[in-house]
Amino acid sequence: MNNLKTVALLGFMSALVAGIAYWFAGGFVVPMLFVLGFNVIAYFFSDKMAIAATGAKPVSEHELPTVYSIVSNLTARTGMPMPKIYIINSPQPNAFATGRNPKNAAVAVTTGILQMLNNDELEGVLAHELAHVANRDILISSIAAMLAAALSLFARISLFTGMGGRDRNNPIGALISIAGIILAPFAAILIRAAISRTREFQADESGAEITGRPLALASALEKISIGTARVPMNVNPATSQLFIDNPLKAMRGRGISNLFSTHPPAEVRIERLTQMAQGVR
């Protein structure tokens, strides 16, 4: 179901880009190629950029034997190659994975999550992160980012160049153009956030299937959610969606609408995992 939602959202966003391109006509090809090129670069170098942006440092098996042992067991079960392991010096309990495919994967954990979770809970979190890589979520997020950037960029170009529909002298056409310019960036943000939430749900489900213990991940999410709400973490907003829970939650508070959130509410994720453990699908 989560995969179907992702396909539907990407399809809708693609159709929206195509529709706006058709309506506004000229001047769209060059910025679209620019956005595409930028996201291709981001896709191939996403792991390095994410690691640098979060200040994660590589660690050896000797330094983090528990994490290495858990990840080694998980990759053996799934047939994935061993990813690179990183640590982030932050008291906030959190973790993320990046990499365009399993061969280029990296998993990072904070010092805070290692102190807060027991081994079963940590295994659930690491399985969730490996599921993101196995599910090719970096590719999906890159496509969503490309389409979202195209919508926003084209809206700005239309605003400053005066492009206004296929018949600018038509009042209805002018109104549609203005509405498109105003609403396109918001639509891009909403759809991209919705795609991110569906991928989090899917990673929860896939990770729980790998370990066979949905309740361990549910317990981890409960602790992490409390920690991220209380302990700030200074990370680039562009990388915040990679984490298992929003690392900027403590800075932004709870007043932001779920529509704009890249992460589903923890209580909803926990409820789904509990139902999964009970055999309710």
Per-residue pLDDT of the chain (281 residues; tens, 9 = 90+): 655 666 666 566 666 666 665 555 455 565 566 666 666 776 677 678 788 888 999 999 999 999 999 999 999 999 999 999 999 999 999 999 988 889 989 999 999 999 999 999 999 999 999 999 999 887 777 777 766 766 666 666 665 555 555 455 556 555 656 666 667 677 777 888 888 899 999 999 999 999 999 999 999 999 999 999 899 898 888 788 889 999 988 766 554 556 678 899 999 999 999 999 998 65
Question: Which pLDDT does position 15 carry in this prediction?
Answer: 64
pLDDT at 119: 97
Backbone φ, ψ for residue 245 (5° rounding):
-140, 150
DSSP label of 265: -
The count of C-alpha atoms lying within 13 angstroms of the C-alpha of 251, restricted to the half-sphere facing its C-beta, is: 11
Q: Which of 85, 127, 142 is nearest to 108 (CA)?
A: 85
Round to the nearest angstrom and report the end-to-end CA distance of the chain. Answer: 10
Q: 145, 124, 12: which is closest to 74 by C-alpha?
A: 124
Beta-strand relationship, 84-88 and 106-110: parallel
Give CA–CA dist 113/136, Å, rounded.
24
Q: Which residues contact 281 (CB under 8 A, 6 or more apart)?
A: 275
Q: What is the pTM of this model?
A: 0.81
Helical H segments across 117-254, by residue range? 119-134, 137-161, 171-211, 214-230, 249-252
Domain ranges of the chain: 2-277
- Name the CA radius of gyration of the chain, rounded: 20
| Alpha carbon distances (Å) from 97 to 67, 83, 207, 246 | 13, 9, 13, 14
Specify the DSSP class assigned to residue 243.
B
The Cα–Cα gap between 162 and 145 comes to: 25
Backbone angles phi, psi at 58, to 5 degrees: -70, 145
Helix (H) or strand (E) holding 100: none
Residue with tokens 């789904």: 272
pLDDT reported for residue 255: 47
Count of helices and strands (H, E) across the chain: 10, 4
Backbone dihedral region of 38: left (phi > 0), alpha (psi from -120 to 50 degrees) or beta?
alpha
The residue length of the chain stands at: 281
From the CB of residue 223, how many other CB atoms can be counted at a distance below 10 Å?
Answer: 17
CA 220 – CA 123 distance, rounded (Å): 9
Distance of alpha carbon 73 from alpha carbon 33, whole angstroms: 42
Active centre residues (catalytic)? 129
Residues 6+ apart with CB under 8 A from 278: none
